[in-house]
Amino acid sequence: NSVRGLDNTLRIGVDTVVELDRQGGQLNRVDERLDDIDANLVQSRRHLRQIRSVFGGIVNWFTTDKSVLTETPASDSSRKTMDDSRRLREQVDSRRADDRERRAQSTHASGRSMQSQSQSAYSREIDDNVGLMSANLSRLTDLALDMNGELAKQNQQIERMSGRVEKLDGEVQHLNRVTRKI
């Protein structure tokens, strides 16, 4: 029962890591979109400056256009995230298969041993199960550390984006006020 419970917990942990990776990809795409919004605001500022006055048009003529909008292809980070998730699932599945094989071998071996020495077979089966539980707990520890690292990285990304969103919101409000005055 304990081995089965740990297997189930390991599966849930892997699913959680995969979901965190997916959310990390979404955060990367949001960050890229914030770059696009910033470039659009620069372009809007230039247009409004030109509309407001002739002098603004002259200023635009002599300033460089910093908002070269480029299409970004599918994000490398989202592809990497998907590859990492797939690789993690494959590793866990192969480890589970190895654990099942070892368990089946130990059960088969213990079945033969019980006919001759029931006590020693029972001890070996317990030892095998303890070994499997130890391996699963080690994997769960690794998953927990991976989750912690991913969460810390995503929290930093969210904090950085939060400041950018506030800055962009202020710029949008300023441009709206300028537009209303025109």
For the cut 90, the answer to whether the pLDDT of residue 156 exceeds it is yes
Tell me what percent of the residues of the chain surpass a pLDDT of 90. Answer: 29
pLDDT in tens, 17-73: 889 999 999 999 999 999 999 999 988 888 887 777 666 566 666 666 544 444 444
Lowest mean pLDDT among 9-23, 112-126, 157-171: 112-126
Work out the average pLDDT over 110-127: 66
DSSP letter (8 states) at residue 1: -
Q: Is the dihedral of CA 127, 132, 135, 141 positive or negative?
A: negative
Angle at 162 between CA 22 and CA 149, to 5 degrees: 45
Q: Cα–Cα distance between 92 and 57 in angstroms, integer?
A: 62
Q: What is the largest CA-CA distance in the chain?
A: 102
Predicted pLDDT of residue 69: 40
Residues 111 and 125 sit within 8 Å (Cβ to Cβ): no
Token pair 């599945």 in the structure block, residue: 93
Predicted pLDDT of residue 89: 64
Predicted pLDDT of residue 71: 44
